[in-house]
Each structure stands twice: as C-alpha cells, then as structure tokens.
Amino acid sequence: MAEKGRTVLTGVHFVNGDVACAEGAMAAGCRFFAGYPITPATEIAERMARRMIEFGGIFVQMEDELASMAAIIGASWAGAKSMTATSGPGFSLMQENIGLAIMTETPCVVVDIMRGGPSTGQPTEGAQQDVMQAKWGSHGDYEIIALAPSSVQEMFDLTIECFNLAETYRAPTFLLADGFTGHLWERVVIPRAEEIKTVERKKPSVAPDKYIPFKPDEDLVPPMACFGEGYHVHVTGLTHDERGYPKTVDPKVQYELVKRLCGKIRRNADKIIRTYEFMLEDAEVVVIAYGIPSRASVGAVKRAREAGIKAGLLRLVTVWPFPEKQVEELSNRVKSMVVPEMNCGQVVKEVERVAKETPVHFLPKIGGEPHSPSEIFEVIRRAAKA
Amino acid sequence: MRVEIRIGGFGGQGIIRTGLILATASCVYGDKNAIQTASYGPESRGGRCRSEVIISDEDIDFPKVEHPDILVAMSQEAYLGYIDDLKETGILIVDPDLVPNQRKNSKAKIYEVPATRIAEELGKKITANVVMIGALAALTNLFNVEQLKESIRRNIPKAFIELNLSAFEKGYEHGKNLLEAKAS
Amino acid sequence: MTNLQEFERHPLANYLRVERFPHIWCEGCGNGIILHCFVKALDELGANMDKLVVVSGIGCMGRVAGYIQCDSFHTTHGRPIALATGIKLANPQLTVAVISGDGDLFAIGGNHFIHAARRNVDMTVICSNNFNYGMTGGQCGPTTPLLSYTTTTPYGNIEHPFNLVHLAAASGAVHVARWTVLHVKRLTESIKKALQKRGFKFIEVVSPCPEIYGRRNKFGKAIDTMKRYREIAEIRHGYAPSKAEITSEKIVVGEFIDIEKPTYGELLQGQFMRFNKG
C-alpha cells in the first residue's frame, strides 16, 4: 500500500526538529501514530496527521497520553511499527504503559521533547530534565534504550535508529530531545528510500503449535508473532512464563523474566551504544555532553584548544544504556571531566559513578536557554587549572 | 563568518516566514549553514513576534542569537524590545511607518524601508515582509538574489508567488536606492 | 489430569485454553457464565479464531483474555479499550472484543470508554458488572449501589452509581444491551448480534459476586441471587437507557439501542480514498 516515494521525502529540506522526527519515523516504516497535543511536541502529531494518510498510515488523536501509549502497544501487536510523541507532563502519564511495553516486549518508539518542569513548568522552553525519568520512570526493574539528538538532521536520523533498535530488541525506545531542538529549524538531508537502513521485527520460523511466544533466541530476544497471524499469543503485564501465561508467585519465573528483560539490553550494550568523539586523542579535559549542549561544547573545545588547553568532547548519542565503558576508559587517562546539562544534575551522576576518582565539573543550566560556548569554556579553563 | 539576524514585528506580518525564506535561501539553495528559531504559540500570533536566523560558513555550535548583527524592526514594540541587543556596529532596518519613535544617538547603520507602504502600493499589505527581504538583499552582501527567489517560490503558496516576487523586486530597488543615496 | 480430560470433552473446548483451567473465579461467580456465553456465541457464528483478539484489563474479569483460544491481551488497569483501539485501527481485519469489569472499564478506564464510544471505534465491549472490586477484596466502585457495604464503605456507600447503559448510549455506542447472567440465551444472542455489527457495541452483564460483595451485603448464596434476578428482572427492549434502572426492586434488561453510524475506521478509509483519488 505504501509508496516509497511518499513515505520518504528524499531531498534537502529546511524544517524544524519535530517535523524532521515525524519524517524520520515514516521513513523508518512507522505506520501508526497515536498522540495527544502538547507543547513542544505537537508539531510531530500535526505532521503525522497531514502525512500518514498519503500512504495509508494511521494517525489517531487519543483522549490523553495514557491512551496514546496503550494504543501504540496495541498497534504494534497488530503488526504496525508505531510511535507516540509527547513532552514532560504527557511522558509522566505514559510511564504506566511504558512499563507494559517493557514487560510485554513490545517494539515501539516514544519521543519526549523535553521542556522545563516540574509539573506544567515551561511549556515553550527546552530542558533535559526527563533523562532519569526515561530510565526509571515506570515502576520495577528494567532497561530501556534512549537516544539524544543534537540537531534537526539527527531528529530525522536517530528517529530511524530508534525504530530499528525497538524492533531489534523488542523494547520501547526513546528519542530524548530537548524542546530547543524540537523547535529549531535547520537543514535536513533525506536520502533515497533504498539508502535508508530499516530493521523488520524477527518473526517465528515455526508453526503455531510449536511456537513458544516468549522463549528467547540466543540474543535474549524472542521472535514475535503478531495478532491475526494464527499463533494465538497471550500477552500480559503480569509476570509470565515463556508460554506467556501468568505465573506471579513463582520466584524463579520472575527472576528469569526480569533478568532477561534487563539482560537483552545490557548484554547487547556494545551493539546499541553510539558516541561521537571530538579531539579526544590527547585530551586532558573532556566534556561529556548530549543533546543541544553538545553543540556549544564543540565551540568551547575549539576555543580551549586555541587557548592552549588540551580539551576534547565525548558526545553521548546513546544516553541509555549509559556508555559506561567509554566514560570509564576516558576517566583513566584524562585529568578532569566537564558535564554541561540543561537540568540540575542527571547524567552527571552516572559520569561520577563511572569516573570514580577523576574530578567531574558539573555545569547545570535551567531556565530554558542552552549553554553558550563561553560558559562551557570557562568551566574547561577552571577544570584545566585544578 | 557567522551572522545573526533578528526580525521582530507583530503576529500576521509573516515574520517567521521571513526567517524561513532567508535561512532556506542560505542553506538549501546556498552552501552555507543556517538555522532559524522563532517565538512560539500565542506569542507568534499576538502582539510580539520574533524570528532569528543565524547564517554561518561553519557548523553552528550555538544556535541562539544574543547580539544580532542585523535587526529588522517591523513594529514599535519590537524596536524597543530588541534595539539594545543590536551589536554596536550592527545594521538596523526599520519600517518607519511602524516605528515612529526612534532613538537619536545610535552607532548602528540605519536604513528606513517603508515596506508596508510599498506593499500596499502593490495591492497586498501582507507582502511587506518580502519587501523587507528584497531590501535586506540589497543592503547586505549576505544573500544571493537568485537563491532568495528560489526560496520565495518554495515557501509561498503558488497563487501568490508572482506578487511576492514583485514585492521582492520593489524592496531590492528601494534598498539599492538607499545605498546610492548614502554613497553620494 | 482427570479434570483436563473432562474439559477436552467439552463441546466448546476448542475455543478455550483448556490447559489453563481451572480458572481463578470463585464458586458462584458470574464471570464463568459470561465466558461461556461469549464462546458459545463464537461457536454459533463459526468465528475465525485466528482473526479474533480479546482484550481485558485488571480485575477478576481481566483474566478472561487468558482463557480464550485466540490472540489475547491482558493490559494494564483501565486501558483495554485504548489498547484495543490501537489493535483495531492498525489491522481492521481483526475482530476486537474487550471483556472486563465495572471498576476497570468505568472508574480508572472511564475516559477511554466514553471516547472510544464517541469515535465509534469498531469493537464489542462486554462489562461484567458485579458492583465492586472483587479481586482486591471488595472495595466500592463506580457501580456500587447507594448505601451498599464494601470494605471502603464500611458505613454504607454515599456515592451515586453510574447507569452504564445510559453512559454508553450518551457517549455514542451503536448497540447497547443489558442482561444478567441468568439470561444465558439472550446474552449469547446479544453477543452474536454485537459481534456482527460494525461500530462501538456495549453489553452490560449484571453478575453475582457471592463470596465478596454478596457476603458483605447478606445476599445469601449465588443461587439466591440468581433467583432474585428472575424475580426482579424486567425485559424492556428499546427502553430509554436513562430510565433503565438497577435497584433492589427492579433490574431493567434488554436491548436498548441499535443504531447505524459510520465507524472511525470507515470514515478514515473514506478519507484515504478521497485523498488518493486526486
């Protein structure tokens, strides 16, 4: 039904981050979007409402974010690549069914265009205050995958990657963008459809009577039969055995299930994690940043080099799972680290945990404005002297 | 080279589209980098509306305008709100009919472009923003005229392209005249 | 194992995940009767079990999804209708039924109910209404009658209950019916009718909870409640849902609403056709 030309808008565009995200989703094969209006993510829903009908994709505006998250889980089990998009207040409501998606191993993408909180906070201002919520927001033990774009081009590229990771690991995958990037207009180059790598979910290779719905392969990910394919799958948010049936008081079943749900992300972390390095070879002071502050960090590092300071940047494209190895390896060879974040300190806690003895200088920024290169440069200079 | 432009006015003047046309010309049709940020929501529809464009030969590491090189003021309120941010040696372009009260002692290069009046003469007040784009093209050497025209064609609804291209020409002409007047 | 063999001999066993029996419901609970009527309706319709999805929420009736031999989803509390909306819209070939309890569908899930009805999403919603939260030990819910006793209304309930059929009709459901678990044949027919009709269909089933709610309110044994249903149930097809009351003296049952209206899916398909014609 879908004509490739209509799902992939090949060409050079000047659009905002939200629109680029929506286009990335459609290019990745998203055929179901459910959402609820919220600043600064609404433009994603608006773009989907306009575009999905062009090729038979489904856009539905739900009654709230609880329903939006539920609907994309349902759609995913009905065989569609699905996505929702929101901001802080809606992200809070989604946490309930994010847990359901984790427990039922439902591939889906959740976009959070972060704004300042707590509560209604600063609807039109960007922030990075939901990073820990993305990791820990739903109850119980689990692992998720979250990517942090720092440009409009990455809003497109990383949304595609979110879909690919969600399908590969059968887990809800997050695009954690700040409101600034969501509303930033920038050039996006959309490649030809055949140049875009997309991943389709692993299907069962056995007949329905031989199929065990939650029995994992070696990568800890079970093949997924969808509704209507004759496999009669039972899906539940309760602790379940490999057949998918509730087994809620058997400690072994809970242990094996939770261990595997965490393990399929942890054990594959090396395949999932992506970082970007800038002038790290001989660096003595390293900035660790993600999202919009990483752009100002590039400028700050250049300025530091001009001032004779051996500075470098490690940009976390993947925020969750946290790139422990990369940060640990750096901490063993640099003098100090600088972490700018648009919050009161979230990823910096992870850096400190991994960096151990290496001094970590934190540069918080709240209020809506991103860090300027000179602000970060000042901290680099202090860190170099210390 | 990094140039920061701020365009201020009120909702309905096409302020954000102005930024969009400038940035698209630079980074889609031209080989520069460009970004736009804009005021949002009720703000962009009501009293005050703002668009900011950064054009650069290099990657834009800080996507925020603090002290614009160029300020285009299309309302008194925008003029008052933004004039202090303008770089000392910056360029100020105002629509004098909309900004009746201007500060006397400014070091900035000041150009008066009655864009709204020119647009009205063309028959459509709404094209005032494109008149400004034409003037901006003439008054700075930041833009390529053909790329701006391409960008106008891309960002304006089909039925109004010709009208807007003539608005562009009028603005460009006015800008050139201002430059000649200054030189002589 | 003897048990299992007995189930396998049951004429409806093909529609059930017999390996999961016995079910969790108490003796005298009406949920088993509702399950029976549902699979009986499937059997009589010759339903394609590969294209049926049963979705349920949390609570005693929430477990029903896991007992039926088809694709099934036991969702979070209150969300089955929202999740079912995603299933139906993403694959219109599927027949989607939501079977859950009064607390799940009308307290925590009330918002999803009214909006799915308003959109006229094609699904059949069956509510087992036992007037309390049985699974958690008998708390007050959105249908608990005034002055009834529950663990959270130890001095009598002071909240006015919902009239579910009135709520469904006002929200836009195209088929609205109410039966008690005594009305096995009529309920089965209603379910058959609903499954064959397009749009948002709602069937309320008044159901005894003798172990929890019944005990606390001195209703006696399940059989006594069934006898009471026979005494006070009044069949009134086409009756105004707003007047179809449930009191200790009278339970109005019947098919109240049966209207035609384009579904969300049909309107969407129409839009798609119009859009892609040009």
Residue span of the structural domain in which C244 resides: 25-277
CA separation for the pair B2, B4 (Å, rounded): 7
User: Is C14 within the bounds of a domain?
Assistant: no
From the list C71, C82, C84, which residue is nearest A233 (CB)? C71
Written in H, E and C, the secondary structure of B56-125 is ECCCCCCCCCCCCCEEEECCHHHHHHHHHHCCCCCEEEECCCCCCCCCCCCCCEEEECCHHHHHHHHCCH
Q: Which CATH architecture has domain B2-183?
A: 3-Layer(aba) Sandwich (3.40)
Residue B41 is predicted with a pLDDT of 61
Q: Is A170 on the interface with B (CB under 8 A)?
A: no
Residue C256 is predicted with a pLDDT of 98
pLDDT, tens digit, for every residue of C30-75? 999 999 999 999 999 999 999 999 999 999 999 999 999 999 999 9
Residue C1 is predicted with a pLDDT of 47
Provide the 8-state DSSP code for B172.
H
From the list B28, B40, B62, which residue is nearest A124 (CB)? B40
Q: Give me the CATH number covering residue C127.
A: 3.40.50.970
From the list A67, A97, A232, which residue is nearest C71 (CB)? A232
Which DSSP string do the residues of A92-143 spell out, in sequence order?
HHHHHHHHHHHHTT--EEEEEEEEE-STT-EEEEE--TTHHHHHHSSSSS--
Q: Let me know: does B16 contact B37? Beta carbons within 8 Å.
A: no
pLDDT, tens digit, for every residue of B82-139? 999 999 999 999 999 999 999 887 789 999 999 999 999 999 999 999 999 999 999 9
Show pLDDT as tens, one digit a residue, over chain A (386 residues): 445 558 999 999 999 999 999 999 999 999 999 999 999 999 999 999 999 999 999 999 999 999 999 999 999 999 999 999 999 999 999 999 999 999 999 999 999 999 999 999 999 999 999 999 999 999 999 999 999 999 999 999 999 999 999 999 999 999 999 999 999 999 999 999 999 999 999 999 999 999 999 999 999 999 999 999 999 999 999 999 999 999 999 999 999 999 999 999 999 999 999 999 999 999 999 999 999 999 999 999 999 999 999 999 999 999 999 999 999 999 999 999 999 999 999 999 999 999 999 999 999 999 999 999 999 999 999 999 97
pLDDT, tens digit, for every residue of C118-133? 999 999 999 999 999 9
CA separation for the pair C57, C99 (Å, rounded): 8
Q: Answer whether residue B45 shows pLDDT above 70.
A: no
Q: Could you state, in order of their start, the residue ranges of all structural domains in chain A?
A: 4-195, 274-385
pLDDT, tens digit, for every residue of C212-246? 999 999 999 999 999 999 999 999 999 999 999 99
Best of A64, A77, A97, A233 to disrupt the C interface (most C CBs within 10 Å) is A77
Best of A3, A54, A232 to disrupt the C interface (most C CBs within 10 Å) is A232
- Nearest-Cα distance to chain A for B35, in Å, is 5
Q: Answer whether residue B27 shows pLDDT above 60.
A: yes
Q: Let me know: does A57 contact A2? Beta carbons within 8 Å.
A: yes
pLDDT, tens digit, for every residue of A158-183? 999 999 999 999 999 999 999 999 99
From the list A14, A40, A299, which residue is nearest B24 (CB)? A14
With CB atoms and an 8 Å threshold, state whether A299 touches B23: no
Asked if the A4-195 domain carries CATH number 3.40.50.970, the reply is yes
Q: Is A380 on the interface with B (CB under 8 A)?
A: no
With CB atoms and an 8 Å threshold, state whether A39 touches B40: yes
Record the pTM.
0.96
Residue A386 is predicted with a pLDDT of 78
Q: Which residue has the tokens 């006793």?
A: C149
CA separation for the pair C7, A156 (Å, rounded): 54
CATH topology of domain A274-385: Rossmann fold (3.40.50)
Q: Answer whether residue C278 shows pLDDT above 80.
A: no
CA separation for the pair A84, A59 (Å, rounded): 10
CA separation for the pair A72, C106 (Å, rounded): 22
CA separation for the pair A108, A100 (Å, rounded): 11
Q: Is B34 on the interface with A (CB under 8 A)?
A: yes
Q: How deeply is C134 buried, as exposed, middle or buried, from its count of CB atoms within 10 A (0-12, 13-18, 19+)? A: buried
ipTM of this predicted structure: 0.96
CA separation for the pair B133, B151 (Å, rounded): 11
Q: Could you state, in order of their start, the residue ranges of all structural domains in chain B?
A: 2-183
Tokens representing B117?
A: 């009046």
Residue of A nearest to B33 (CA): A187
Residue C33 is predicted with a pLDDT of 98
State CA B67 to chain mean position distance: 16
With CB atoms and an 8 Å threshold, state whether A372 touches B59: no
pLDDT, tens digit, for every residue of B51-84? 999 999 999 999 999 899 999 999 999 999 999 9
CA separation for the pair C95, C51 (Å, rounded): 6
CA separation for the pair B69, A155 (Å, rounded): 29
Q: Which of residues 45-64 of B touch A (CB under 8 A)?
A: 59-64
Q: Is A201 on the interface with B (CB under 8 A)?
A: no
Q: Let me know: does A355 contact A335? Beta carbons within 8 Å.
A: no
Q: Which residues of C135-148 are buried (b: 16+ CB within 10 A; e: fewer)?
A: beebbbbbbbbeeb
Q: Is B28 on the interface with A (CB under 8 A)?
A: yes
Q: How deeply is C102 buried, as exposed, middle or buried, from its count of CB atoms within 10 A (0-12, 13-18, 19+)? A: buried
Could you tell me whether strands A185-190 and B33-38 are parallel, antiparallel, or unpaired per DSSP bridges? antiparallel
From the list C51, C112, C115, which residue is nearest A228 (CB)? C51
Looking at the structure of chain C, the number of domains it has is 1
Could you tell me whether strands C123-129 and C175-180 are parallel, antiparallel, or unpaired per DSSP bridges? unpaired
Longest dimension (CA), chain B: 45
User: Is C5 within the bounds of a domain?
Assistant: no
Provide the 8-state DSSP code for A41.
T
CA separation for the pair C185, C163 (Å, rounded): 23
Tokens representing A91?
A: 């992200």
Does an H or E element contain B37, and which? strand B33-38
User: Is C16 within the bounds of a domain?
Assistant: no
CA separation for the pair A29, B33 (Å, rounded): 29
Q: Is A20 on the interface with B (CB under 8 A)?
A: no
- Nearest-Cα distance to chain A for B59, in Å, is 9
Residue C179, SS3?
Answer: strand
pLDDT, tens digit, for every residue of C122-173? 999 999 999 999 999 999 999 999 999 999 999 999 999 999 999 999 999 9
Which residues have a Cβ under 8 Å from the Cβ of A222 and sit 6 or more positions away?
A: A105, A170, A212, A213, A214, A215, A216, A242
Average per-residue pLDDT for chain C: 95
Nearest to B94 by CA among B136, B157, B38: B136
With CB atoms and an 8 Å threshold, state whether B35 touches A186: yes
